[in-house]
Amino acid sequence: MNIWKSAVITKKGQALQDKLIAGQTLQFTKVQTGTGEAVITQLEDQTDLIGPNQLITFQQIEEIDGHIDISVLLENTKLVKGYELWQVGIFAQDPDEGEILYCLAQASEAKKIPAASENPGFSVTWKFHLKNSGKAETDISITPAGLVDFRHFDERKNEVNQRFQDVETKMGSLDNLKTSEKQSLVLAVNELKTGVDRLNQTFLEKTYPIGSVYTSVRYQNPSQLFGGVWQEFAKGQVLVGVNTTDPLFNTVEKSGGSKNSVVVAHNHSVNGLSVSPVGDHTHTINSAGNHRHGVYADVDCITSATGARDLACPEKNKDTLWESATPYAGNHSHSMSGKGGHNHTVPAHSTNSSGGDGTNKNLQPYLTVYYWKRTG
């Protein structure tokens, strides 16, 4: 989409063009953005931008085959507050009036330029093409036509590498350089340095935007590696992800917890316990014990039928035995009854404590590193 449909040389710029034909030198002074919109037919009458805002950078100014190409770069690195872009204007030095608004372009609709905190590393490039033939009206075109976010790191890297190669080529014949060639070489080196610095800044913004946390096991301020402003972060603390549904972790950079809370060493109490009496029972022995007794004796020693014997007849033949017996008798039983009820009682007491207590006991396994947070 071509947003730059209206691009003009202002009336003061046209007057300067007449002076250039008379031999004056065109000197551009600055390029700036504007936040206001003008009526298209009144653009040529503007002497300043509507709502002058951000000064942006000249990247390159080239004169090729009778026309001038002006490359500009908009970056939000130091932009504290975002704004709506309507106009971009290029200013030049008039020998009689001083700095004037030479030309400007107005967008067909406002485009949001984000602050650094909203979109770190945002950058845009445009190229103004100015073509003039004598006193005829100067044509202006801009590429790219849209608001193109310049985010291709490899393209910038290749550009810088090409400039390195150009410098190496020029350095190969340094001893034979003329003064003008040496000056060109100095300019090329300075341009290369600017490109490298911009490349480093782009890398920093895309890799570690403000608010990023850098982790290392080596104590070295990341500003020495990447640039920017850094401060040590989260000393003696672990990092936990934000959880907006948990009041303990619902905001960023919220600290809490304690490494000295005594929650490890503890004991358990046991309440007293009684068991109700149980165990009543009875033992019964059934009838048993029926038996008889037998007696061996000489029949001549028996004096009566009742079984009495005469013990005073030793002369009798003792080998002649007679058996006599009592009748069977003796059956009886035993019965025992009683109660075996009893109870068990466990007195109240506490178990012995186990584990450790005191400071530094409530810690997870850990491994220490250096944390750095980018602040600028």
Q: What does the pLDDT look like over 154-177, one tens digit per residue? A: 455 566 566 666 666 655 555 565
pLDDT of residue 225: 79
On average, the pLDDT of the chain sits at 74
169 or 28, higher pLDDT: 28
Q: Which DSSP symbol is given to 181?
A: H
Between 347 and 316, where is the model more confident?
A: 347
Domain map of the chain by residue range? 6-150, 152-207, 210-263+353-376, 269-349
Reduced 3-state DSSP string for 272-284:
CEECCCECCEEEE
pLDDT of residue 60 exceeding 50, the answer is: yes
Percent of the chain with pLDDT over 70: 61
Q: What is the pLDDT of residue 265?
A: 61
Q: Residue 40: what pLDDT?
A: 87
Angle among Cα 212, 215, 220 to the nearest 5 degrees reads 105
Over range 31-47, report the average pLDDT. 91
Q: Is the pLDDT of residue 253 over 50?
A: yes
pLDDT digits (tens, 9 = 90+) for 79-95: 899 999 999 999 988 98
| CA 207 to mean position of chain CA atoms | 14
Predicted confidence at residue 78, as pLDDT, reads 86
Taking 60 as the threshold, does the pLDDT of residue 67 lie above it?
yes
Mean pLDDT of 343-370: 75
The lowest-confidence range among 33-47, 74-88, 89-103, 185-199 is 185-199
The per-residue pLDDT for range 262-308, each reduced to its tens digit, is: 655 667 777 766 666 666 666 666 666 666 666 555 555 555 445 44
Alpha helices in the chain (DSSP H): 11-21, 153-171, 179-207, 223-226
The pTM is what? 0.40
